[in-house]
Structure 1
Amino acid sequence: MPSHSRFTRVAKAASTFTGRPACFMLALAVLLVWAISGPLFDFSDTWQLIINTGTTIVTFLMVFLIQNTQNRDTEAMQIKLDELIRASRSADDALLDLEELEEKELDVLRARYEDMARQAREARETRRMR
């Protein structure tokens, strides 16, 4: 197994934990305790500030955690797709590493493949009509 950076290990552990039902239940319990404690603190500004600050901090950190997880997943998927393209004899190797192209270049390729799909559907429909 490859050696991962400390950040990657922490990010994976955090994303695994936060994706579990137990984490949701923990967050729900914190909210319930906060809500129930409202009358004890006369629903003060400080009481409201506690939940607002806590949720803001958690949300801020989760954005980076989610982005890190998404980046890793996307990179892994791109590598897998590149390998499938590379391994297929009839595949166009120019399609490897498409994510590095500019938007206009992607638009040209997308139009080419949309045209190929349209032609394939028309050919299938023509064969069906015969």
Structure 2
Amino acid sequence: MSDNRHFFSRFATSVADLSGKPSTFVAAVVVVLLWAIAGPFFGFSDTWELVINTGTTIITFLMVFVLQNSQNRDGKAMQAKLDELILASKARNEYVGIEKLDEQELKSLIKALDKAAEGSGQSLQDQSGPVAGRT
């Protein structure tokens, strides 16, 4: 099972890297243009439409899982790096692992941080970063 996960992770990373390249976008545009040009030759038939609809649906469906896997790993790696920075700095260590809190606990923590920032003359709303711009 471990080999399958490792294979899928490598595959997902490769596909995510490839799908983000400009040449991949150009290739997709060329495929769509070729399909559109083929329309008159096939009389704009239902089969002609079905080809592009089926192809794009299948690709989209599969890409959701591949890109989500890649995003999940990136997020976990980023969180591990942030945790290491917190542990290595003078920041409060209780912030390590807060990504596992439920929504209500996170909102309470954000409110407490807002209150602390207001008391220090700063506003978290005006700063850029993961806390800024929240609702």
Question: TM-score interval w.r.t. the shorter chain?
Answer: 0.7 to 0.9
2:37 and 2:74 map into 1 onto residues whose CA distance is 40
Alpha-carbon displacement from aligned partner over 1:32-67 (angstroms, at most 9, x marks no partner) = 110000000000000000000000011111111221
Q: Distance in 1 between matches of 2:95 and 2:28?
A: 44
After TM superposition, the runs of 4+ consecutive aligned structure 1 residues lying more than 6 A away are none
- Most deviating of 65-74 and 50-59: 65-74
Q: Which residue pairs with 1:121 in the alignment?
A: 121
Deviation at 1:110, TM superposition (A): 0.8
Matched residues, percent identical?
50
2:6 corresponds to: 5
Q: Which residue of 1 aligns with 2:34?
A: 33
- In structure 1, C-alpha distance between the alignment counterparts of 2:99 and 2:80, rounded to whole Å: 11
The total of aligned residue pairs comes to 119
Task: Structure 1: state its 5+ residue gaps.
Answer: 123-130
TM-score in terms of structure 2 length = 0.83
Q: How does 1:39-58 map to 2 (within 5 A)?
A: 39-58=40-59
Query: Structure 2: which amino acid aligns with 1:120?
Result: S
Q: TM-score, normalised by structure 1?
A: 0.86
Aligned CA RMSD, in angstroms, stands at 1.5
Q: CA deviation at 1:18?
A: 0.9
